[in-house]
Chain A
Amino acid sequence: ILNVEQSPQSLHVQEGDSTNFTCSFPSSNFYALHWYRWETAKSPEALFVMTLNGDEKKKGRISATLNTKEGYSYLYIKGSQPEDSATYLCAFLPAITGNQFYFGTGTSLTVIP
């Protein structure tokens, strides 16, 4: 069983603050890493698919970086807004297990107005 860890488990920030959180995964046997945002009472929504070491992806105020050699990805939110409140999940896809994703338990972000 592969271990994917996300930290911190939860985070409370003030509106306007910038924040970041981490997804750690096995550095060997990497194929891809997916990031999702999951708002309460909604479905998980895809944010980024990352495949190459050094990848940086950006969507509005949210960006992500990838380091496959050391086995981590960072998700950054610049100028957090209340609508950013959600759980952010990462899903690791190893090279040898087809489409079997391994999800972290998520970082729960609350943005206080």
Chain B
Amino acid sequence: KAGVTQTPRYLIKTRGQQVTLSCSPISGHRSVSWYQQTPGQGLQFLFEYFSETQRNKGNFPGRFSGRQFSNSRSEMNVSTLELGDSALYLCASSHSGGRTDTQYFGPGTRLTVL
């Protein structure tokens, strides 16, 4: 069974630009969550999607948005990039989004904002 995939793996953007990251969950998984990791910080929860609906949202500005498609693939968009958005962005999928479901993480997208 293929794991969670994320594209692209690395990305360099400049301030003010926007970026879209993609996450393909494990086949059959319907829940996708997104996390941001910056140096010295633990993983920070961005949002969770289940069956194309955003169920939970973390404490991030409105520049961070996402969506989920009918095949459960998810995209995350960051508009008007700031230097502080430089981070590793991870997505994780689980079968039904149950709160004790095992989450399977992708390899991440490393975003650098110059």
Contacts and interface: CB of A to CB of B under 8 A. Distances in A.
Interface of A: 1, 4, 31-32, 34, 36, 42-46, 49, 51, 89, 91, 93, 97-106
A46 B45 CA distance: 17
Interface residues of B, number: 28
Interface stretch (B11-19, B54-62, B63-71, B73-81): B54-62
A31, A46, A97, A99: most-surrounded residue (chain B CB, <10 A) = A99
Contacts of A42: 107
B56 A100 contact: yes
A44 B45 CA distance: 15
Given A44-B105, A105-B40, 12 more contacts: A31-B99, A42-B107, A43-B3, A43-B4, A44-B90, A93-B99, A97-B56, A100-B56, A100-B58, A101-B33, A101-B45, A103-B45
A46 B103 contact: yes
A49 B41 CA distance: 22
Given A44-B90, A46-B104, A99 B42 contact: no
Contacts of A98: 48, 55-56, 99
A32 B99 contact: yes
Contacts of B105: 36, 43-45
A51 B48 contact: no
Contacts of A93: 99
Interface in B68-114: 90, 92, 97, 99-100, 102-108
